[in-house]
Structure 1
Amino acid sequence: MKLFYVLGGGLGHLTRVKRLISTLGIESDFLIFSTAWATKVFPSDQCIIIDTEVVNDKGKLFDYLLHQLIKHAVTDLYIDTFPLGLFKEIDFNLIPKQCRTHYIARYLKWNTYIQKSSFQNVKFDTSYIIDFMNQEQFRFIKSNSNTVHHYQLKPSKVKAGQQNQEQKYYLINHSGSQEEVLQLLELLKKHPGYKQSNLPILINSPKDFSGVIADNVEMIHQYPAHSLFDQAKLIVTGCGYNSMIETLPFFEKHIFTPFERKFDNQFERAKRRNDFVLSNTR
């Protein structure tokens, strides 16, 4: 049995892990160790849901993880993004010896994450690098992994919809705060393409901001979001990992702005997308 440790904000980490699972050809015999968000992405019988009380207690969280590793005879533990766990709660000395460990490496603000951390006895059988890396994080991966694989995860395949003008809309896709959604709404309204058509605005988010949304704006809760992209006249997002991958086929109608994050670097993602657009529109 394989177990994927997936803790982080919202649906992003889960969506990314789902994409990697598909890329690796893992079709069954795996479990997702996460919060209740997991059931929006994976079948509920494959999800080990962590109670809020447990998530907020490092000791209880690691004890619960150990219990699941033993209970399900886990042979492979995949740790997403945070090599010692989100709260640095994972003690590699206590992981059962028959359980191989693997690291799913997305970019981290490394110096922010590793403060007062000990990496003694941390060793991964395999690390999967799926993002750009800073040098310190890459050196850690090389020094603490038996094997390193690089993967460029691909956008989801979506069947093209009917290009019916009456069905089109402006789409804001974001799982962040109300303040950030309002910033994206202002970004849309300042775009020249917005002024050319009187179309409805859809805000797709797992959260509900309907109490502060203006006329001609509708809140929806569609997952996966990429199924909405084809029919959108403009797509507006932040610069999270999944947003930038899924919008790549639609870069000509994608507008975006980076937001500050504790561990991620959305500004670097924005720069890389701008470089890509320049190289493909000359």
Structure 2
Amino acid sequence: MILCYASGDGLGHLTRLRAVLHTLGVDGPVTVVTASPFAGDPRVTGDWRIVRGTGVTGLAPDEVPEEVIVDAFPAGLKGELIRGDVILPGTKVTHLARLLRWDAYAPMLPADPPRFDRTFVLEPLAPAHEAYLRAVSDEIVPLALTDPPSEPVDVDGWLIVHSGPEAETLELVAYARDMASAEGVRPPMTLVSPQKPDSLAPEVAYLDAYPAWRPGPNVQRIVTAAGFNAVRQFAPWRDIHRMLPFPRSLDDQFARAARARREAGDRSRSPRRRPA
């Protein structure tokens, strides 16, 4: 059994975990510790066993995982993971490293944080973050992720994708409409999100689809925030992808969006947040 610790209450941790397990070819039983409400969606979690919570709890005394995978936060969301948490001798410990606001996270590290047999670096990290991981990892290597196969989401016009919260979803819709107005076009727009906002403009179509990362041939523009999965998954369509970064306590969407624009040769205009 592989035990995955995916702290955080969003959809991104589970989507990233799906891609990691697919990339590594894991086909055995998987137990995921998460507080995400999206863990109840079988489209997201499939046949994983879900343990609700924010700590590594819920395992029977005789359950010893072959491997523990710690996603994103090397000591848990709030520094709650310490060396020895269901990590017994002989258990491989893997960390999945993505960009963090290291200045905000580092003060939460416990005095006895976990050590890792290997750390997979999924995107460029801040220098201090990478230096820390090198100090606590026996091996640190990059890993390019491949998502499980899925059907394309094919809609006419512009595709807006976000899992929430609702205020951000509506801001993304407003950003797309402002962008269209500035360009002098009136494309049909479709929002893909787990929940339809109550005040969604009637001219914007709504679709609940997961996964929603592969656009069909009729999609002319993709509008998302700048979370890890959106930037990674829509990289092949960077020429039609526009990002609106949102502030996060531990994730740096602004740095990720800036890097994506640099890597794309700044082919698109830098997005700006709408006034509050």
TM more than 0.5:
yes
| CA–CA distance in structure 1, aligned partners of residues 151 and 206 of structure 2 | 24
Closer/same/farther in 2, CA of residues 121 and 280 from structure 1, 3 Å limit: closer
Residue in structure 2 matched with residue 219 of structure 1 by the alignment = 206
Residue in structure 1 matched with residue 39 of structure 2 by the alignment = 38
Q: 1:173 and 2:161 equivalent?
A: yes
Retained in 2: the 8 A contact 1:174–1:237?
Answer: yes
Post-superposition shift, 1:182?
2.3
Range with greater deviation from structure 2 (145-154 or 237-246) = 145-154
Closer/same/farther in 2, CA of residues 279 and 188 from structure 1, 3 Å limit: closer
Post-superposition shift, 1:160?
6.8
Residue in structure 2 matched with residue 104 of structure 1 by the alignment = 96
Post-superposition shift, 1:39?
4.1
Residue in structure 2 matched with residue 265 of structure 1 by the alignment = 252
The number of residue pairs the alignment matches comes to: 263
Closer/same/farther in 2, CA of residues 34 and 121 from structure 1, 3 Å limit: closer
What is the identity, as a one-letter code, of the residue corresponding to 2:233?
E
| CA–CA distance in structure 2, aligned partners of residues 48 and 159 of structure 1 | 25
What is the identity, as a one-letter code, of the residue corresponding to 2:104?
T
Q: Aligned to 2:32, what secondary structure does the other structure show?
A: strand
**TM-score with structure 1 setting the length:** 0.83
Residue in structure 2 matched with residue 188 of structure 1 by the alignment = 176
Closer/same/farther in 2, CA of residues 42 and 116 from structure 1, 3 Å limit: closer
More helix by share: 1
In structure 2, list runs of 5 or more residues that go unmatched: 269-276
| CA–CA distance in structure 2, aligned partners of residues 121 and 263 of structure 1 | 18
Post-superposition shift, 1:118?
2.8
Retained in 2: the 8 A contact 1:161–1:230?
Answer: no
Post-superposition shift, 1:74?
0.7
Retained in 2: the 8 A contact 1:155–1:248?
Answer: no
Closer/same/farther in 2, CA of residues 250 and 155 from structure 1, 3 Å limit: farther
Residue in structure 2 matched with residue 88 of structure 1 by the alignment = 79
Q: 1:113 and 2:102 equivalent?
A: no
| CA–CA distance in structure 2, aligned partners of residues 160 and 15 of structure 1 | 16
Cα deviation code 1:119-161 (max 9, x no counterpart): 4363111111111111111111111111112112246666778
Q: Aligned to 1:171, what secondary structure does the other structure show?
A: strand
Range with greater deviation from structure 2 (81-90 or 239-248) = 81-90
RMSD over aligned Cα atoms: 2.6
Retained in 1: the 8 A contact 2:152–2:216?
Answer: no
Q: Aligned to 1:79, what secondary structure does the other structure show?
A: strand
Closer/same/farther in 2, CA of residues 185 and 33 from structure 1, 3 Å limit: same
Closer/same/farther in 2, CA of residues 196 and 5 from structure 1, 3 Å limit: same
| CA–CA distance in structure 1, aligned partners of residues 263 and 149 of structure 2 | 20
Q: 1:241 and 2:228 equivalent?
A: yes
In structure 1, list runs of 5 or more residues that go unmatched: 56-60
Cα deviation code 1:224-270 (max 9, x no counterpart): 01244543221111100000111112112111111111111111111
What is the identity, as a one-letter code, of the residue corresponding to 1:74?
P
Closer/same/farther in 2, CA of residues 116 and 88 from structure 1, 3 Å limit: closer
Q: Aligned to 1:115, what secondary structure does the other structure show?
A: helix
Residue in structure 2 matched with residue 141 of structure 1 by the alignment = 133
Percent identity, please: 24
What is the identity, as a one-letter code, of the residue corresponding to 1:46?
W
**TM-score with structure 2 setting the length:** 0.84
